[in-house]
Amino acid sequence: MFSQSKSDNSLLTTGSEYELVKTEAAVTDFRRNIVITYVWVSLVVMMVIIVAATALHGMRQRADVLTASTTQNLALLMEQTYDGMIDSIDVALQSAADDIGLHMREDPQAITSMLTKSQKRLQYVAYLRATDEQGNVIYGAGARSPPVNNSDRDYFITLRDKPNAGLFISKALLTRTDKRWVWLFGRRISRPDGSFSGVVYATIFLEDLDAMLGRIVLQSGGVATLRDADIGVLARHVTQGPYRATPGERTIAAPFAAALKIDPDQGTYVSGGTSIDKINRTQTYRRSAKYGYYVNVGVSSEQALEVWQRQVWLVTLLVSMFVAASTIFALHVRRSWLRREKDVRALETMVQDKVRLNADLERFAYVTSHHLQEPTRRIVIFSQRLQTSLGQIEDADITASMAFLHKEGIRLRSLLHDVELYLDAGRPHGPIESQNTSIIADKAIQALDGELRQINADIEVSSLPPVLIDSRRLREIFIIALKNSITYRCQDRPLRIRISGATTGRDVVLRIEDNSTGIPAAYRERVFRAFERMHPQMDETSTGVGLAILRRIAESMGGNASIEDGMESGITVVIKLPSGGLI
């Protein structure tokens, strides 16, 4: 097979630009390059030092941004964690309220058993209990006898008086029995007729919330706080610090208060040492959109500065290493330059010889195919004359020989013509501009109108987007694809051809689909090689260069050509070309 080279006239120009460097010029260039190298190394070292100093200043500023980003991510993570926990609790409360209100009211033991099982599934819940309509806590594990009455609690009053109150979330609440601070969640129990039947509630010990905050990885001096909807403290954890907040405490630093006035839902601020423990922190707060509580995360500014100081030492070390490496490089340039110069000159000579050889080979092939056209034409004419002159001779061998000579002469002429076309396919024939693809496709169909009519072919052409190419080679693309469909059509059914196109980004993909004999997937790349034919017996006049020319044209424009499945086991020739935009 012939290899496909994209060489054109520009290769000849490029190849001619390569020249061997004379010895005197090489010495002059060497000395000049040494001086230039030293100057550039010095400039680069100075620039690196300046850039490093500027970078360290920028790192100091970005340290604050990174710290703020860290607190924002942690605050978001805390919000998602607590929202997920409350979601689980609410699902359990809703399920319990429905079961108690609709089915289990008359069976206290079943209610207590159901609440106990649900409580075990909720990791952080301390109590899961329910009251009757008078506020007596009579259901759930650990319910006392006589029962505790919670009818005066805010959550009971709110859920009793507001049928549509939904999930009630309390502030920090001190239990009456064991005197422990809890965070309470409650839902109303309603009878089938909608009347009030009690409250089901779940509680979490605030010390368990403290433990949850303690699992957040913070550096020394970091703080994580959980507050209720009214900014009252529910839990606070200070990394390596003794400070613990009083449940329900609403004292906040002035920067926090100022940030809340600007945006009550979320924000980032610097405490500036105004916090209770006097540590300067970068802090981020978020208000849960679903449940109204607040999370607040703070990172010590001093810790963030320690990271920056380590960066200063690292950058200083890297700059020192770079200066040392640059100095060594400059010292070794003088010894290495002569060897490199010799290698470059040898490489230039090799490249120049290769380019010249490729150009000569292509020129020879093109000139040979062009000049052999005339002798071939004469052979065909002479064979025709011999056939005419010997037409009365009844000798089968002579007749067959003359027919073979004529046939092979025509084939040789076609082969030389196609080789010339193949070599010429990589060069434009006219201006490269936006082409009206639909019009050129119609011209190609008209050029083959006689053959298409003779076989009663059915051709469907969709609206085609414009492409960027010269008109002659675009017409050649369509003619090659159509001739391929005609040559390899199925004999037992009419030939159908469908031409379509679409724009994908900066390219246009043209598709010529038919119901021909098809090409197995393993051979679809092979048929794009020059002189390859999958079915030589179907058309002995075919040279097998057509699809190779088609791909060469597409690749010369930065595109490609391939084959996919077509209709009725046929093929689709897919051509990608640059888009021509609007005409």
DSSP bridge partners of 286: 266, 295
3-state SS class at 450: helix
Q: Per residue in 33-46, pLDDT tens?
A: 777 877 887 888 88
pLDDT of 259 over the 90 cut: yes
Q: Which of helix, strand or coil describes residue 449?
A: helix
Q: How far apart are CA 444 and CA 425, in angstroms?
A: 17
* Burial profile 217-253: b = 16 or more Cβ within 10 angstroms, e = fewer: ebeebbbbbbbbeebbbbbbbbbeeeeebebbeeebb
Considering the chain, what percentage of its residues have pLDDT values greater than 90? 36
Candidates 521, 455, 461; CA nearest to 489 is 455
Q: Which position has the higher pLDDT, 264 or 350?
A: 264
Helix intervals (H) in 301-372: 301-371
**Which structure tokens are listed for 235?**
């839990």
Which pLDDT value is given to residue 168? Answer: 95
**Higher pLDDT, residue 387 or 5:** 387
Q: Contact at 8 Å (CB) between 126 and 182?
A: yes
* 18 has a pLDDT exceeding 70: no
The pLDDT assigned to 513 comes to: 95
Report pLDDT for 6: 38
Site of tokens 């001093």: 302
> Would the pLDDT of 508 be above 90?
yes
Q: Tokens 């100081």, residue?
A: 309
Q: Are 243 and 225 in contact (CB under 8 A)?
A: no
Q: What's the CA gap between 504 and 578, in Å, rounded?
A: 10
With a cut of 90, say whether residue 524 has pLDDT above it: no
Q: Is the whole-model pTM more than 0.85?
A: no
Residues 6+ apart with CB under 8 A from 485: 457, 495, 497, 512, 514, 516, 570
Which of 308 and 271 is assigned the larger pLDDT? Answer: 271
Select from 143, 132, 96 the least CA-distant residue to 115.
Answer: 96
Say yes or no to pLDDT of 9 above 80.
Answer: no
Instruction: Give the C-alpha separation, 357 to 18, whole Å.
Output: 13
540 has a pLDDT exceeding 60: no
Total count of residues recorded for the chain:
583
Pairing of strands 433-435, 458-461: unpaired
Nearest to 265 by CA among 237, 297, 229: 229
Nearest to 296, CA basis, from 71, 69, 80: 71
**Mean predicted confidence (pLDDT) in 171-192:** 91
Q: What is residue 290's predicted lDDT score, i.e. its pLDDT?
A: 93
pLDDT of residue 267: 94
* CA distance linking residue 252 with residue 260, whole number of Å: 11
H-helix or E-strand spanning residue 156: helix 154-161
Question: Cα(401)–Cα(432) distance, rounded to whole angstroms?
Answer: 48
Answer yes or no: are the C-beta atoms of 282 and 304 closer than 8 Å. Answer: yes
Position 64, amino acid? D
Query: Which structure tokens are listed for 256?
Result: 């926090």
Q: Give Cα separations from 506 to 426, 435, 573 (angstroms).
A: 21, 15, 20
Distance CA 382, CA 389 (A): 10
96: left (phi over 0), alpha (psi -120 to 50) or beta: alpha
- Kindly tell me if the per-residue pLDDT of 369 is higher than 60: no
| C-alpha span between 129 and 139 (Å, rounded) | 5
Strands (E), 218-333: 223-227, 233-238, 266-270, 281-287, 294-300
- Residue 196: pLDDT over 80: yes
Handedness of CA 457, 463, 465, 471 (dihedral sign): positive
Look at residue 574 and give its three-state secondary structure. Answer: strand
Tokens of 551: 């791909």
Query: Which among 421, 418, 461, 420 has a CA at the least distance from the CA of 443?
Result: 461
Over residues 412-457, the pLDDT tens digits come to: 656 665 676 677 777 888 899 999 999 999 999 999 999 999 999 9
Dump the DSSP string for 47-100: HHHHHHHHHHHHHHHHHHHHHHHHHHHHHHHHHHHHHHHHHHHHHHHHHHHHHH
Contact 413/373 with Cβ under 8 angstroms? yes
Residue 167 has pLDDT above 90, yes or no: yes
Residue 535 to residues 146, 484, 543, 573: CA-CA distances in angstroms? 99, 11, 11, 17
CA pair distance 226, 78, nearest whole angstrom: 9
pLDDT value at position 10?
37
Give the three-state DSSP class for 247. coil
Amino acid 464: pLDDT: 94
Q: Which amino acid is residue 40, in one-letter code?
A: W
Instruction: Tell me if the bond preceding 146 is cis, omega within 30° of 0.
Output: yes
State the pLDDT confidence band at 317, using cuts at 50, 70 and 90: confident
